[in-house]
Amino acid sequence: MSSEEYKQVIVIREDLKMSKGKTAVQAAHAAVEAVLTIIDSKRPDWIMWLKRWRQEGQKKIVVKVKDEKELIAIYDEALKLGLPSSLIADAGLTELPPGTRTAVGIGPAPSKLIDRITGHLKLL
């Protein structure tokens, strides 16, 4: 087994001032969608990352960005690095207008790769 560590990072916009419940739901959407992206991709490297992450206990970190511009920049960087990622747009049924981009999920992937993009962000 590799000594490499794996994790998933969820990035949340702090400018939206979502309730705790809404924030939790958006984080869950981002986490699940990123994993489904891996499964749907059928990419052997991503599938291996997912398996290792599950074996290690499914480490997740939730961090914050100040606004939509920063959220999109993080998402774009993750895609450029070839990491499984999800960008969540709210359905608009409760607190936010439809299409509001709320969260990004990155990984599971090697921690050292994700840290290149999110290592500077503060915990939520």
Render pLDDT for 71-94 as a digit per residue (tens, 0 to 9): 999 999 999 999 999 999 999 999
What stretches of the chain show up as alpha helix (H) in DSSP?
A: 20-41, 44-55, 68-80, 111-118
Q: What is the mean pLDDT of the chain?
A: 96
Residue range 17-109, CATH number: 3.40.1490.10
In the three-class reduction of DSSP (H, G, I as helix; E, B as strand; rest coil), residue 8 is classed as strand
Extract the tokens encoding 48: 């291996």
| Sign of the alpha-carbon torsion through 37, 43, 46, 52 | positive
The CA distance from 76 to 81, in Å, is 9
| Sign of the alpha-carbon torsion through 21, 113, 108, 103 | positive
Whole-model pTM: value is 0.95
The CA distance from 24 to 10, in Å, is 11
CB 108 within 8 A of CB 84: yes
Q: Which residue has the tokens 């702090």?
A: 14
Residue 80 half-sphere exposure toward CB, CA atoms < 13 A:
8
- Domain residue spans of the chain: 17-109
Extract the tokens encoding 26: 């958006």
Q: How confident is the model at residue 55 (pLDDT cuts 50, 70, 90)?
A: very high
pLDDT of 17-41, one tens digit each?
Answer: 999 999 999 999 999 999 999 999 9
